[in-house]
Amino acid sequence: MKHSSIQNIQDEHASLSAMLLSLRMMVKRGPKDESTLFFDVLRAMLFYIDEVPEKQHHTKESQFLFPAIARRSLTCKALIESLEVEHQKGESAVRELQHMLLAWEILGDSRRKEFEEAVTRYLDFYFLHMKQEETIIIPEALKVLTTDDWLLIDQAFAYNKDPLSKNNQRDPIYDRLFTKIVMQAPEPIGLGARH
């Protein structure tokens, strides 16, 4: 049986993966002759990561999905604890990237390498985080959770408003952010490389 929360999680992971791949491409490509646009788009992308996955997506996993699995299975206990620690550190990690980006923008190329290395570590960490959720946590949830568990989890995830997800209803407050990212970032998240 497919649960709406699982579909939401997978859709949000797909949106975030596209964002992270675009972020990697932009950082690798560098600002070239468009430094104002480059830094503006990277700031918007990092803001999205801080605002949506960190505050909406992870909160729902931590409050609803993980505790329900932990109550019914010992199999994922250590992994859930590890993912929770990552969730707790997530906001500070993305804020540190925002600070490093600002340092590069304001102080110049002497801060570029530090930012690039930090972004690479962050992206590698995030892709592994999502892979563990999709290949270990979700299959375990499908095995052990009850109908009542799913009802609560599905309701919680129904209210997520990821501005980049194709299947979730977007909150109009994110329209400017969505437009900025989609129109200026490169594929797979945006159209910027076409302009």
Q: Alpha-carbon distance 166 to 3, whole Å?
A: 17
Lowest-confidence region among 17-26, 65-74, 137-146, 178-187: 178-187
Count Cβ atoms within 10 A of the Cβ of residue 154 and give its class: 0-12 exposed, 13-18 middle, 19 or more buried: middle
Is the confidence at residue 193, as pLDDT, over 60? Answer: no
pLDDT of residue 108: 96
Q: Which helix (H) or strand (E) holds 22?
A: helix 4-29
- Nearest-10 Cα torsion for 41, 14, 140, 81: -10
> Using 50, 70 and 90 to split pLDDT, how confident is the model at 177?
confident
Is the confidence at residue 195, as pLDDT, over 50? Answer: no
> Using 50, 70 and 90 to split pLDDT, how confident is the model at 170?
low
Which CATH code for domain 4-194? 1.20.120.520
> Using 50, 70 and 90 to split pLDDT, how confident is the model at 175?
confident
Lowest-confidence region among 69-83, 147-161, 176-190: 176-190
96-108 mean pLDDT: 98
Cβ atoms of residues 122 and 97 within 8 Å = yes
- For residue 95, what are its two tokens? 């804020």
Domain spans in the chain, listed from the N-terminal domain onward: 4-194
Write the pLDDT tens digit of every residue in 42-92: 999 999 899 888 888 899 999 999 999 999 999 999 999 999 999 999 889
Q: Alpha-carbon distance 53 to 60, whole Å?
A: 10
Residue 58 φ then ψ, to 5°: -65, -35
Measured CA distances, 28 to 31, 45, 188 (Å): 9, 15, 15
> Using 50, 70 and 90 to split pLDDT, how confident is the model at 178?
confident
Q: Alpha-carbon distance 90 to 53, whole Å?
A: 9
Q: What is the mean pLDDT of the chain?
A: 89
CA 100 remoteness from chain centre = 19
Give the pTM.
Answer: 0.87
- For residue 102, what are its two tokens? 């600002």
Is the confidence at residue 166, as pLDDT, over 80? Answer: no
Is the confidence at residue 131, as pLDDT, over 50? Answer: yes
Q: Which helix (H) or strand (E) holds 5?
A: helix 4-29
Residue 133: name the closest of 88, 91, 83 by CA: 83
